[in-house]
Amino acid sequence: MLDLRQYASLGVALTAALDRWPNETCLIEADRDREKLRLTYSDFKEMARPLCRALQDADFKAGDRAAIIMTNQSKWLISAYSIFFSGGVLVPLDYKLSAAEHLQLLTHSRTRFLVVEYYLWRAITQTPEFAKLTAQIVLVTEAPAGADLRGAYRWEEFKRKGEPQFMPRQREDMACIVYSSGTGGRPKGCVLTHDNYLEQCAALTAWYPFWPGVRYLSILPTNHAIDFMVGFIGPFVCGACVVHLRTLRPEFVRDAFVRYRITYVSLVPMVLKNLERGLRAKFDELHPRKRWMLERLIGLNKMLTRNRPHAKLSRRLLPQVHKAFGGELLALIVGGAFTDPATLQFFYDLGIPVACGYGLTEACTAVTLNDLKPFRADTVGKPLPGTEVRVLNPDSDGIGEVAVRSRAVMSHYLDDPEQTAQAIVEGWLLTGDQGRFEAHGHLQLFGRKKNMIVTAGGKNIYPEDIEAVFDGLPVKEFCVFAANYLWPQKTLGNEMLVLVVRLEPNQQLDDGLREGIVARNRRLADFKRVGGLLIWEKDFPRTAALKIKRGELAAEIGAGAARTAVVEI
C-alpha cells in the first residue's frame, strides 16, 4: 500500500494510487446477477480527468463544497475523486432521505455543486422547497433522453478536454462534511479533515491490510462512513478492487461472494443475521448422518482455532462452507449497531471471523475493532492504533461513558460551536455510549446514554441489553421501549417495558410465538423483564446503515397506537 505519511490530502494519495497500479482492476459494478462495468485504475483516471477539467472550467475552487446523492455506482467514486482532485470539500448525503431533508442539508452545508441521480433530482424539483436550492451547478446521472432537468447538466456530458490542474490541500483542511444518520431538526455536520481520513485509513489497514488482488464487496451505501473508508479510500490506496453490489437481497449477496471470490466485506448486523439464517437452514436440510459429521468438524475447527483464526485449516476442514463464500474470504467486518455474540461465535466456529467494531461519524469511521488476538464475541474489540479510549465516571460495575481521543476525531460540528463544545471536551470526544473495558483491553458496550431507562429502584436498563435476549425471535424485527417514553404519563415508578414487534407477512401471533417471547423474557432479571407486547403493522424506519431510528419509531407509535393496544406478557 501507499505510505500515507507522505501525503497531505486524499486527493494527492488517490492520484498516486491511480498512477501506481494502472493495470489492476479497481472497480466492478454489479446489479444483482449482471456485471455492468469493470474498470482498471487507468480506466478510472481517464474517466475522471474530463470531469475534473469541466469542474475547474465551471469555476470550482479549492474549498468549494460539492454534495453527492446517489446509490452505489462508479459515478459516485469518480465524482468524489474529481472533487478531491480539484481541492473541493465533499458532502456525502444519504440517498434515502426525503427531498426536503436533502434541501435542508444542502442549504446547511452551503453546497455550490451537486451530483445527483435522476430519480432523486426529480423528487427534489417537485418539492415546494425546491426554490431554496443553493447549489449553482447540478450534475444529474442517468437522466432519460428528453427529460426536463430544470437547469441541471447531464453528468455524462459534463466534460472538457485538456489537462486538469491538481489543487493541493493540507492535512488540516476540510475534506468532508458528513451528517449523522437521521439528522432531523437541527442538522449536525461533522467536519472531517484530510488528516482525519489519512490517519484512520492507516490505522485500519495496519490490522486488516488490502493489497492488489484483494476484492472488497461493497453493499453498504458509499455515503456511509464505514463504506466510504473501507469501500473506497482503503482499497484504492492499496491497489485493491471494490465490487459494488446494488442490492441487499441475500441470494445475490451470496452469489457475489462466489462469483468475485471476495476477500473482505462490511455488513450491518441485520445482513449478517440473514446470512446466518440462510446457513442454518441449509444445515437443517442435511441428512442426519451428514449433519452429525458437520457438527463434529465444526467442533474440531472451534478447538483448533480457539486463540487465533487459521484460514487454510478451516477451509480444509469445512470446504463446502467456505466455497459458499468464494473460498478466499478472510473476514467479515460488522458494526453500526448491536451484534448478537451468538451470531459472531457461529461464524467464527465455521472459520469465518467477524471483526466486530464500534465507531461514530464524529470519529471518522471506527474507534475499536476486534483484531482476533484473541477473538471475543461479547465485545467490540480494542482501540485502533493511535486511538485512546477512556471510560468516564464508572459505576460499581465499571460502566461509564466512553470518551475517545485520536487524530481521527472530527474538527468540529459545522457552524455550531455550542454542540462542538458539548461533544469535545479538552480534546476528548464524549460519545454518549456506555461501556467498560474487559480482559485483553477489549471494550464492551451497554447501550446509548440517551436510551437508558432508570427504574423506580434506581436500576439502569439499556434497551439494547434486553433486545439481545430476544435475538433470534422468529419475527421480521423488534425493538424495546419504556412505555412512558412512548406514551408520556409524567409519573415516576412502575416503569413498564414494551416489546414492539413487526411480524413477517402473513404471520400471526400464535401460541408458539407467544411462548418463545415468554421463555426469553424469563431469562432476564426481574427488573429488566418486558411487561407488554405491541404488534406494529408497519416496517420500522431505518437509517442508511439499517439501524432502527428509535426516536422516529417511538413518535410513530405514540401517535398511532393507544397504550391499551399493548398486550400483557
| Whole-number pLDDT of residue 176 | 98
Using 50, 70 and 90 to split pLDDT, how confident is the model at 439?
Answer: confident
Q: CA-CA distance, 476 to 510, in Å (whole number)?
A: 15
Q: 27-54 pLDDT, tens per residue?
A: 999 988 889 999 999 999 999 999 999 9
| Whole-number pLDDT of residue 187 | 79
Using 50, 70 and 90 to split pLDDT, how confident is the model at 371?
Answer: very high
Region 81-103: mean pLDDT is 94
What are the φ/ψ torsions at residue 548 (nearest 5 degrees)? -70, 130
Q: CA-CA distance, 565 to 313, in Å (whole number)?
A: 54
- Whether pLDDT at 328 is above 90: yes
- pTM here? 0.84
- Whether pLDDT at 340 is above 50: yes
What percent of the chain is modeled with pLDDT above 70?
95
The answer for residues whose C-beta is within 8 angstroms of residue 43's C-beta and 6 or more apart is 26
96: three-class secondary structure by DSSP: coil
Asked whether 547 and 220 are in contact (CB, 8 A), the reply is: no
Region 60-66: mean pLDDT is 97
Which residue, 347, 377, 348, 396, is CA-closest to 442?
Answer: 377
In the block, cell 451470496 appears at 254
> To the nearest whole number, what is the mean pLDDT of the chain?
91
454: three-class secondary structure by DSSP: strand
**374 cis-preceded (ω within 30 degrees of 0):** yes
3-state helix, strand, coil in the chain (%, to 5): 40, 20, 40
Task: Tell me the fold of 4-245.
Answer: Rossmann fold (3.40.50)
| Whole-number pLDDT of residue 123 | 96
- Whether pLDDT at 490 is above 50: no
144: cell is: 432519460
Residue that wins the pLDDT comparison between 395 and 525? 395
Using 50, 70 and 90 to split pLDDT, how confident is the model at 493?
Answer: very low
Please enumerate, as own/partner, the contacts of 308-317 that have beta carbons within 8 Å and a separation of 24 or more.
Answer: 308/372, 308/373, 308/374, 308/375, 309/348, 309/351, 309/353, 309/372, 309/375, 310/351, 311/351, 313/351, 314/350, 314/351, 314/352, 315/351, 317/351
| Whole-number pLDDT of residue 557 | 94
For residue 367, the 8-state DSSP code is S
Secondary structure string (H, E, C) spanning 198-254: HHHHHHHHHHCCCCCCCEEEECCCCCCHHHHHHHHHHHHCCCCEEEEECCCCHHHHH
What are the φ/ψ torsions at residue 271 (nearest 5 degrees)? -70, -40
| Whole-number pLDDT of residue 247 | 80
Does 379-449 carry CATH code 2.60.120.10? no
Residues present in the chain in total: 569
- Tally the C-alpha atoms within 13 A of residue 97's C-alpha that lie toward its C-beta: 26
Using 50, 70 and 90 to split pLDDT, how confident is the model at 12?
Answer: very high
| Whole-number pLDDT of residue 183 | 34
Which residue, 424, 418, 421, is CA-closest to 362?
Answer: 424
Region 110-116: mean pLDDT is 97
- Whether pLDDT at 110 is above 50: yes
Q: Using alpha carbons, list the distances in angstroms from residue 500 to 126, 337, 535, 558, 561.
A: 35, 18, 6, 12, 11
User: Which class is domain 452-568?
Assistant: alpha beta
Tell me, what amino acid is at 241? C
Cα-based angle 263, 264, 269 (whole degrees, multiple of 5): 145
| Whole-number pLDDT of residue 453 | 72
- Whether pLDDT at 362 is above 80: yes
Buried b (16+ CB within 10 A) or exposed e, 110-139: ebbbbbbbbebbbbbbebeeeeebebebbb
Q: 499-508 pLDDT, tens per residue?
A: 999 999 999 9
Q: CA-CA distance, 450 to 431, in Å (whole number)?
A: 11
Least reliable range by pLDDT among 75-84, 219-228, 463-472: 463-472
Using 50, 70 and 90 to split pLDDT, how confident is the model at 84?
Answer: very high
- Whether pLDDT at 139 is above 80: yes
Q: 239-259 pLDDT, tens per residue?
A: 999 999 888 787 888 899 999
| Whole-number pLDDT of residue 446 | 84
What percent of the chain is modeled with pLDDT above 90?
73
Asked whether 455 and 527 are in contact (CB, 8 A), the reply is: yes
How many Cβ atoms are within 10 Å of 515's Cβ, its own excluded? 10
- Whether pLDDT at 317 is above 90: yes
Region 511-518: mean pLDDT is 93
| Whole-number pLDDT of residue 459 | 63
Domain ranges of the chain: 4-245, 379-449, 452-568
Least reliable range by pLDDT among 95-104, 279-288, 486-495: 486-495
- Whether pLDDT at 182 is above 50: no
| Whole-number pLDDT of residue 492 | 40
Least reliable range by pLDDT among 29-43, 368-382, 451-465, 519-533: 451-465
- Whether pLDDT at 151 is above 70: yes
- Whether pLDDT at 458 is above 80: no
